[in-house]
Structure 1
Amino acid sequence: MSAIKYLSGLKSYLAREECGNESSVFRLHYQLTVVLLIGASILLTAAEFFGNPIDCITGLGAKHVINTYCWIHSTFTIQDYYLRERGSQVAQPGVGAPTGYEEEEIEEKWRFHNYYQWVVFFLFFQAILCYMPKFVWNNAEGGLMKTIAVGLNPGLFREDEVSSRKKVIIDYIVKHIRMHNGYVFKYWFCELLCFINIVGQLFLIDRFLGGEFLTYGPRVVEYTEMDQEERVDPMIYVFPRMTKCHFHKFGPSGTLERHDAFCLLPLNILNEKVFIIIWFWFVILACLLGALILYRVALFTLPGLRPRAMHKHNKSVSLETVQAITNKTSIGDWWILYVLSTNIDPLIYRDIMTTLAKEIETANSNNPYNSAGLYSSSSV
C-alpha cells in the first residue's frame, strides 16, 4: 500500500498557492503535468499491483537468472510477425518461430525493446523538466506579488489595516510607475519555456520509444475505427506484452547452447495507457500554451486590448477607470494590477483602482512635461 500512500501525498501539490502570480495554463504545466508524470512513475514501481516487471518461460531451470538476464539485455519481437494470425502462425503478435526466413535474414527484422528499464526514471526526468519554468519564475519573481497583496483580505484583517495596505499599494504603484516591464517579460519568458519544453518533450519521447510516439495517438484512434480483421493494435506494437529473449550458455560438454525464452512484460499493459494519456495531454497542453503565447503577443502589440482584458477579468471596476490607468502606465504596471485583481477582494480592488486613476491623473496634470513625461501614454 506504499504506492497508494505516495499517490495520495501528491494531492497537496495540486492546491493553489495562497497568492497566485501565474496563469491557469502555466499551473497546468507545472502542477497537473508533474503530478501525472510522478504518479505514473510511482505506479510503475508498485510490484504489489503488477507483479514482476518481466517473467520468462524457458525449458531451463534457474528462472530467476533468465528473468534477470532478459531484463538487463533487452528482449525483441519480429516486425513482420505483427501481421500474422495469432494462434496459428504466431504465438503472440510479434512473437513466433522463425519460419520462412534464413537465420541472418530474420535477425535483421528483430525489434529490440529495452526502454522498459528506464521508463520510471524517464518519467521522473520529464517531471523535473516540467517544473523547471516554475523554478525559474519563483527565483525571478522574488515574492513581489505576495508582498503587495498581503493584508488585503477583509475577512482576516481589521478595516484600518486594510485601508493602510491599500494606501501602501497605491503609493507603491505611483512611485514605481513604468518600472515593472522586467517583471512581466520574465514571466512571459517562463510561459514560452513551458511551450518549448512540451514540444521538445514530444520529440524526446519519440526518440525514447524508437520513433513511434509522434504518430502514436492518431494510430490508436485509427485502430478503433478499423475492421477487426485488418487492424494491428499500435499499443501492442510499441509496447508488446510478449517478447522473445535468447539466452546462451555452455552445455555439459562445453558446447555453446542457445535457448529461446518467451517473456511476459506485464508493465507494458500500464505503459501503453500511460503514454497514450501523455500523448493526448501534451498535445492539448501544447495547443493551450501556443494559444496563450499568441495572446501575450496580442497584448504586447495591441495596447487597446489590455483594459478590455482587465475589465473582463474583474467587472467591479469600470472600463473607463481601467482605460484611464492603462493609458498612463506601461505593460508591466498593467500586468501587476491585472494579477493583483486575482488575489484580493473585488471591492477592495475597485477602491484601489479608482483611487489610483485619480492619483495618476493628478500627477500627470502637475507634470510640466506631461506630453512626454513619466505618465504619458505609451504602446508599451
Structure 2
Amino acid sequence: MLKILGGLKDFLKAEEIVIDGPIFRFHNVFTAVMLFTCSIILTATQLVGTPIQCIVDGLPTHPVNTFCWIMSTFTMPTAFSKRVGIEVAHPGVANEYQFDDDNHNQYDATKKYYTYYQWVCFVLFFQGVACYFPKWLWDNCEGGLMKTLVMGLNHYVYTEKEKKSKKQIIINYVLQHLKKHRMYAVRYWCCEFLCVVNIFMQMYAMNRFFDGEFMDYGFKVMQLSDEIQEKRMDPMIYIFPRITKCTFYKYGPSGTMQTHDSLCVLPLNIINEKAYILIWFWFVTLACILSLLMVYRLSLIIFPSLRPRLLKITRKIASRQDANIIAYNLDVADWWVLYMLGKNLDPIIYNEIVVDLAKRLEGSNTPVIHR
C-alpha cells in the first residue's frame, strides 16, 4: 500500500511548463490525489483488515460476518437520541420490539439500512477519475502550444544572440496570429467550467449516495459541540455507525425458520467518517473558490480595463503604458496566451518581450487605445 501511495506523489510534481491556473490544478490534481488516497486506504483496510465483526450466539462467526457485510446492516433511527447504557446499548441499536402503555408487544418497522460502506472505496476512486478528467482533457486540447512558444526561455541560460532571436520569434508569432487563439482560450475556460459542474455534480451524487445526509454533514458536525452531551446525536455516527444490527435467518433441524439477531462492529466506519468530513470541507471550499473563479473569468471578458491592471500586478510589467497597449490591442484570447507566457518565461525576458511587442503594436497600423 505504501508503494502505491508513494506513486501518487508523481501527480503532485511541479510541471516545467505551466498551461493552467492554480485553482484548476487544485481541483484536478490535489483533489484527485486526495480521493485516490482515501480509496486506497479504505480498499486496503477492507482486504487486509476486518471490515465487520458480528456477535451472534450459536452460529459460526465467519459466515455471519460475510452475510451481514454483503446483505447490509441496520440501525433504529429513533434510538440515536436515547441515552447509551440506560435506554439503549449503543447509539442507534435498540430492540425492534417495544411495549406500549398496555404492555402489548409492538414491532417498530422504522429501520435505516446501510449498504453504501461496501461501495465507498469504489465511489472515491471514480470521484478521483472525474476530478482528474478536466486536466486530461485540457492536456490533450492544449496541443503543446505553450511549450513550443517558451522554447526554453524559462531558464536564463542563453546567449544574448540566442535570447534575442527567440524573443523575436515569440513577438512575430503573436503579431501574425492575432485573433487566432480564441478556440485555445475557449477550450481552457470550458475545462475550468467543467470543474465547477463536476464539483457540484459530485456533491449532489454524494448526497444521494448517503440518503440525503451529505449536504449538511459538515454543518451538523460543527454544531455538535454546542449541544448538551446527554442529548446530542453525533451526525458522524448516524451516517457511519460503528455498531449496527443484522438479522440472519436459517432453518432448524426440523425445517423451522430460525431468526438470529446479531450485533455488528464496523471499524471501517471510523475511517469513513473522518475521510468524508475532510471531503465535505474541501468540496465546499472548492465549490466557493471555483464559483468565484467563474465570476473572475467573466469579468476579464466583459471589462477590458481589468486586463492591464492584472498584467501589471501579477506579471510585474514595469510600464503601465505598455500594459495598456498590450491589453487594449489584443483581444481577450490573445491577451490570455501572452498572460500565460508570463507564467513560464523568465521575468526579465518576459518584460523585454512586452516592451518590444508594445512598440510594434504602437507603430503598426493597428489602432492603439491609450487609457
After TM superposition, the score normalised by the length of structure 2 is 0.94
Q: Give the deviation of 1:320 after TM superposition.
A: 1.0
* In structure 1, C-alpha distance between the alignment counterparts of 2:112 and 2:46, rounded to whole Å: 30
The answer on whether the counterparts of 2:154 and 2:346 sit within 8 Å (CA) in structure 1 is yes
Q: Which residue of 1 aligns with 2:43?
A: 45
Alpha-carbon distance in 2 for matches of 1:342, 1:114: 48
Output the CA distance in 2 between the equivalents of 1:105 and 1:98: 6
1:228 is aligned with what amino acid? Q
* Mapping 1:1-380, distance limit 5 Å: 3-47=1-45, 51-100=49-98, 105-107=107-109, 109-364=110-365, 370=366
Code of the residue aligned with 1:12 in structure 2: it is D
Following TM superposition, by how much is the alpha carbon of 1:160 offset from its aligned partner in structure 2, in angstroms?
A: 3.0
Alignment CA distance shift 1:42-1:234 (3 Å): same
> How far 1:277 sits from its partner (Å)?
0.6
Uncovered stretches (5+) of structure 1, i.e. residues with no partner: 365-369
Identity %: 45
Distance 2:28 2:220 in 1: 28
CA displacement, residues 244-272 of structure 1 (integer Å, 9 cap, x when unaligned): 11111111111111101111110100100
Shift of 1:50: 8.0
For residues 105 and 56 of structure 2, the distance between their equivalents in structure 1, rounded to whole angstroms, comes to 21
Distance in 2, matches of 1:99 and 1:71, equals 24
* Inter-partner Cα distance in structure 2 for 1:352 and 1:232: 63
Larger mean CA deviation between 225-234 and 282-291 belongs to: 225-234
- For 2:74, what is the secondary structure of its paired residue? strand
The 2-side partners of 1:148 and 1:103 are apart by: 80
Conserved 8 A contact 1:151-1:161: no
- 2: CA distance between counterparts of 1:91 and 1:116? 22
SS of 1:228 mapped into structure 2: coil
Number of equivalenced pairs:
366
**One-letter identity of the residue aligned with 2:9:** K
C-alpha deviation, 1:181, in angstroms:
1.7
Distance in structure 2 (CA, Å) of the matches to 1:94 and 1:50: 28
Q: CA deviation at 1:60?
A: 2.9
**For the structure 1 residues 182 and 65, does the alpha-carbon distance in structure 2 shift closer, same or farther, using more than 3 Å as the test?**
same
Q: RMSD value over aligned CA atoms? A: 1.9
How far, CA to CA, are the matches of 1:31 and 1:62 in structure 2?
46
CA apart distance, 1:219? 0.4
Aligned to 1:367: none
Displacement of 1:224 after TM fit? 1.6
Deviation by residue 1:282-307 (Cα, 9 ceiling, x = unmatched): 00000000001001111011001111
* Aligned counterparts of 1:224 and 1:89: Cα–Cα separation in 2: 23
Counterparts of 1:242 and 1:87, CA distance in 2: 14
Measured in 2, the distance between the counterparts of 1:164 and 1:95 equals 76
Q: Is the 8 A contact 1:316 1:346 kept in 2?
A: no
Code of the residue aligned with 1:98 in structure 2: it is: E
- CA shift in 2, pair 1:138/1:90, >3 Å: same
Shift of the 103–300 alpha-carbon distance from structure 1 to 2, 3 Å rule, reads: farther
CA distance in structure 1 between the partners assigned to 2:330 and 2:45 by the alignment: 59
SS at match of 1:312: helix
Maintained 8 Å contact 1:250/1:256: yes
Letter of the 1:16 partner, please give it: A
